[in-house]
Structure formats: C-alpha cells, structure tokens
Amino acid sequence: MANKNIRNLSARKELDTNLFEEISKKAINNDSVESFKKIATEFYIDDSVVFGTASFYDFTREENRTKKIHVCNGTACMTAKTQENLKNIVAKHFTEEEIGHAACVGHCHTNSALMYKNKTYSVKTEAELKSIVSNKAEETCFNTYRVASNTTPILTSKIENLKEFYALSEEFLDKNQKVIQEIKTSNLRGRGGAGFPFWFKLDAVIKEPLDETRGKLQKYIVCNADEGDPGAFSDMYLLEQQTHKVLFGMYISGLTVGADTAVLYIRGEYPDSIKKVTEAIEEIKTKKLAPNFRFKIIRGQGSYVCGEETALLSSIEGMRPEVRVRPPYPAQYGLYGKPTVLSNVETFANLHWILKNTGEAYAALGTKQSTGTKLVSLDSFFQQPGMYEIEMGTPLTEVVEKYGKGFKTKVKAVQIGGPLGGIVPIHKLKDLTLDFESLNENGFLLGHASFVSIPEEFPMLSYIEHLLKFTADESCGKCYPCRIGSFRGYEMVEKAGNSDYKIDRTLFNDLLETLEIGSLCALGGGVPLPIKNAMQYFSEELEAYFS
C-alpha cells in the first residue's frame, strides 16, 4: 500500500517533473541534504523515499558522487584480463576517491573500457588516456565495430527515406487489430530474454477498460533500454545506429493501443545512446513524423536489476527499483499504475519491417517457434568480433566460424545470454542452433545472444565467484533468497578459492535450488543455471574445491 501511495504522489507530476530525474540531478551535483528534503516536500512524500532511492544506484549513492572516471568491471573485460592494466594507468592520473566502476559500457569487442565525462572509451595505453583527459581525443570516442548479416537484413538495413519510413504508420491508423494480427502471424517473441509473444502485450493493453471518470485511460509505451548484460551491446547498436527503427516501433505500438506517451529507460553507461536517441527525437519533432505523440528519455543511474520490467517501472516512478510481485502485470498495472506495453529495444525495432513486409514474410525466416533474426554480440576473443544479425535456427558453429572467424586463443566455453545465461562448453556448440528451443532444451539460454568467451587458463571457480558476487551486488534486496543466498554462495566460493576450505556439495546444491525457486525475479532465479552448467561440464576442474 505504501508503494501505491508513493506511486500516486509521483504521478501527480508524472514525466514533466519526474521524481527519479529530480533525485538523480541532486545526487550527481552532490547537493546538500536540505535539497533532497526539498524534493520530498514538493512531492508530498517522506524523506526516506528520496534518500532510499538516492542511496541505491551506483552513480547516485553518496560515496560515489565524487567519482570522475569509471572503469568497466563487466564479464568480457574480466575474462580478457585488461582491467588491471587499465586501473594502473588510470591511477596515475586520478586519485582513489575519483575512480569508480561501471558494470559494462558496451566495449566488449575491444575491452580496456572506461567512462569519462559522459563518454566511453577503450584505452590501451597511458598516452591514449592523456589524450582523452586533455580533450584531444574527441573524434576517437565513438564505439565502432563490425556489423554484418547472414540473411534478409531486418535490423541492420539502412533507412533510405525517413519521411517515407514513418509514413507507414498512416496505413495502420485505426487498424489496431490488423497490426496485432500481423505481429501475431510473425510470431515475434520478446528479444530481451524471456521470448514472450509480443502481440499478446498489445492485445492485453487494448482490452483494458476506460476510466469511467475521465472517459479515457492513460496508457504508456515503455522501452527497456537498460541492457545491463555484460557482453551484450545489441541494444547499444540499435539505439545508436538504428535509432528510428526503435522509435517507430514504440510509436506504432502507441497508435495501436491508444497511448500517446513513450518512455525510453536508457542505461547511464551508454551516454552515446542517450545522445543519439535525443537527436532522433528532436528530428521527429522538427519533421513532424509522429504527430500528437511524445517521447521521454529517462537516464538510468547504474543498476542491473532495472533490466527487470517491474523494477524499471519503480525506478521511473522515483522509488527504489525493487521487483514487484506479479500479478498484476504491467499490461494491467504498469507505469504510474496505468496499462503499459513494456518491451525491449530489439523487439520494438522489428515492428516496421513486419508491418511493411507482412508477418508471414517474417515468419518465413528462422524456425517455426523462433522466427525472424537475432542480433548476436561477439566479444574480443573472436578473430572478427562485432555485431551480427543472424537468422534464427543457424548452427552456432556457423556463427563462431563463419562470422566470428574462430577464436584468437584457446577458449574452453562461452557464456551466451549474459550473466544469467548458460555456460556452453566449446564441444557443445556443434549440437546447438541459434534459437530459444535449441538452447533451452540443452539446458542453456538465448537471452540477448551475447557471447562472452572463457579462455582455457581462466579458472572456472573464479568465474562462478564473479557470477555470485555480481548477483549479490546487483540484487534489489526485496527477497531474501537472492539478497542473502547469492552473498552466502559468493562467500563459500571465494573461501574455497583462497584457502583449503571445501564447499559442501549438498549444501551448495540446496542453496542453488533456493535461489532458483525462491527468488522473485530472474536475477536470483537465473544465476543457478550457469553455475550448474559449470559444475556439470567442468566437474574435473572444480572437483578439488568440493567435499
């Protein structure tokens, strides 16, 4: 009930004077305690709400507000072992109090990644850092990588004429059922990891009854652009290089369900994405491409759990981003308690192609259950790292050998789909295809389809330790299986790696089961999957650490 009351109070000023943005602004400016209390007074909420929110995020909590430079501690950079050297370089130019961390800044294909003055870089040498700090490297900050496709390019094709591109929406005005039918025929499934049929979300929001007191029910479109999976940079690619495909997808979704407002929640670790989307929204306004429709960008402040849809909604509303119990689902009770279509960047980016070329044409690509294409992120261990649009159902060996051109060094496994994705030993790649079913049936996960390589010399115990610490650090804290269980797991693994302590295998398995079935969301519930994969396929390597 308390959260519902806070939500209603936050909704009074809604997105025009957004509570989360106001708190973030004060925190980043390192304002006084009184200024935070003033926000509470203006929104008629308790001080604890404001301070509780400010203390949650990496970039807004008090001890981090003086940080000037943030070194990436993502999984891809970790396995590449570039960050110790980078930290040593950075330490020559910044004090310890000025150096912070960022969960992943999307330079997984080059590593040595950091964020400085609202830009991201890959820094290999001290000379490069000096150039950046002296503002002489402005032209080198853009994140570039190879982009290619093995099929009909849907997400990687160029938009030739922007006015004609948006004019497609006119063909579907007042034809919401036609839009839904095309998407249903396409069998487009959510590209954020769960693979939920997208048409169902639109249909559910359309069916929400009118507000009898007002005659119209406010509805929202929300794009989850808080792609926090280390190793994944597909959302970053779309936001920066295919921006209008994402925005059109949100616009047509709004026209379909009767929403006039769209919110993009973009992670703060992607400053270039925020810049590109801001420019594209201004272009839409200037050229009047989406009349009577508004877009709003909310900048995330460093929290992996905000990738979970209900935590993301709570974050926009200015509360701590804790996961909500479902039902009700966002389609019924979403942003500010209103019906909300919430999906991720890649899902929205597919809609223009489907409506232009028909759902049947989209369904003809891929497999029967996993239709269309999928963006795949390949990290720096590949001979040819980059972003690839791959048709669903493609053998993973083809992705690795034909597009990645194999590995630069010996790799024993790849983790596909982020920190909650499965750890796939190299010998299993020949048995798998790029689709939801193949990976799920073999005990893995498609997720964002990011490939993080684990080299032969990297200890699997250290990798497990990293996954558990990541989960403990990023837990929203609402449910104790995740909050406590992940930390206790990390303690056991860390102790085993640094002493003669042996992990009780039965106890550890019970802990994983508790996390899996007792957690409210996929953070605590998902981390047992890769750990179980590691224990299954690398049992000989791990045997010495268990009793």
Question: Beta 220-225 vs 119-122: how paired, if at all?
Answer: unpaired
How far apart are the C-alpha atoms of 368 and 65, rounded to whole Å? 50
Count Cα atoms within 13 angstroms, Cβ side, for 512: 21
Helical packing angle, 198-206 and 176-186, nearest 10°? 160
Secondary structure in 3-state letters for 195-255: CCEHHHHHHHHHCCCCCCCCCCCCCEEEEEECCCCCCCCHHHHHHHHCHHHHHHHHHHHHH
Helix (H) or strand (E) holding 271: helix 271-287
| Maximum Cα interatomic distance, the chain, rounded to a whole number of Å | 69
* Helix, strand or coil, per DSSP, at residue 538: coil
Residue whose pair of structure tokens reads 């193949």 in the numeric block: 438
pLDDT on residue 217: 82
Give me the amino acid identity at 152: T
CB atoms within 10 A of CB 414: 28
pLDDT in tens, the chain (547 residues): 557 888 988 888 889 899 999 999 999 999 999 999 999 999 999 999 999 999 999 999 999 999 999 999 999 999 999 999 999 999 999 999 999 999 899 999 999 999 999 999 999 999 999 999 987 655 545 578 999 999 999 999 999 999 999 999 999 999 999 999 999 999 999 997 778 999 999 999 999 876 655 556 899 999 999 977 889 999 999 999 999 999 999 999 999 999 999 999 999 999 999 999 999 999 999 999 999 999 999 999 999 999 999 999 999 999 999 999 889 999 999 999 999 999 999 999 999 999 999 999 999 999 999 999 999 999 999 999 999 999 999 999 999 999 999 999 999 999 999 999 999 999 999 999 999 999 999 999 999 999 999 999 999 999 999 999 999 999 999 998 999 999 999 999 999 999 999 999 999 999 999 999 999 999 999 999 999 999 999 999 999 999 9
Angstrom CA distances, 75 to 294, 343, 429, stand at 36, 25, 20
pLDDT on residue 62: 94
pLDDT on residue 117: 92
Our CA angle for 181, 338, 201, nearest 5°, is 20
* Helix, strand or coil, per DSSP, at residue 333: coil
Residue 522 backbone phi and psi in degrees, to 5: -75, -5
pLDDT on residue 138: 56
pLDDT on residue 424: 98
How far apart are the C-alpha atoms of 540 and 45, rounded to whole Å? 56
262 conformational bin, left if phi > 0, alpha if psi -120 to 50, beta if neither: beta
Count Cα atoms within 13 angstroms, Cβ side, for 108: 31
How far apart are the C-alpha atoms of 27 and 16, rounded to whole Å? 19
Residue 231 has which token pair? 């190793």
Beta-carbon contacts of residue 324 (< 8 Å; ≥ 6 apart): 310, 311, 313, 314
- First vs last C-alpha separation in the chain: 47
Q: Output the DSSP codes for 149-193.
A: ESSS-SSSSPPS-HHHHHHGGGGGTT-HHHHHHHHHHHT-B-TTT
Q: Are residues 417 and 406 in contact, defined by beta-carbon separation less than 8 angstroms?
A: no
How far apart are the C-alpha atoms of 254 and 339, rounded to whole Å? 12
Q: Are residues 208 and 339 in contact, defined by beta-carbon separation less than 8 angstroms?
A: yes
Q: Are residues 504 and 547 in contact, defined by beta-carbon separation less than 8 angstroms?
A: yes
Beta-carbon contacts of residue 299 (< 8 Å; ≥ 6 apart): 21, 24, 266, 268, 274
pLDDT on residue 213: 53
Beta-carbon contacts of residue 401 (< 8 Å; ≥ 6 apart): none
* Helix, strand or coil, per DSSP, at residue 481: helix
How far apart are the C-alpha atoms of 545 and 541, rounded to whole Å? 9
Q: Domain extents for the chain?
A: 2-55, 69-141, 149-363, 373-455, 460-545
Same-fold call for 373-455 versus 460-545: no
Question: Beta 220-225 vs 113-116: how paired, if at all?
Answer: unpaired
Residues making up the chain, counted from first to last:
547
Q: DSSP class of residue 385?
A: -
How far apart are the C-alpha atoms of 89 and 449, rounded to whole Å? 32
pLDDT on residue 2: 58
Give me the amino acid identity at 189: R
**CATH top class, domain 460-545:** mainly alpha
Secondary structure in 3-state letters for 23-90: HHHHHHCCCCHHHHHHHHHHHCCCHHHHHHHHCCCCCCCHHHCCCCEEEECCHHHHHHCCHHHHHHHH
pLDDT on residue 445: 94
* Helix, strand or coil, per DSSP, at residue 98: helix
How far apart are the C-alpha atoms of 207 and 419, rounded to whole Å? 36
Q: In CATH, what is the architecture of 373-455?
A: Roll (3.10)
Give me the amino acid identity at 468: L
Angstrom CA distances, 206 to 209, 210, 222, 442, 443, stand at 8, 10, 15, 37, 36
pLDDT on residue 136: 63
Q: What CATH code would you report for 149-363?
A: 3.40.50.11540
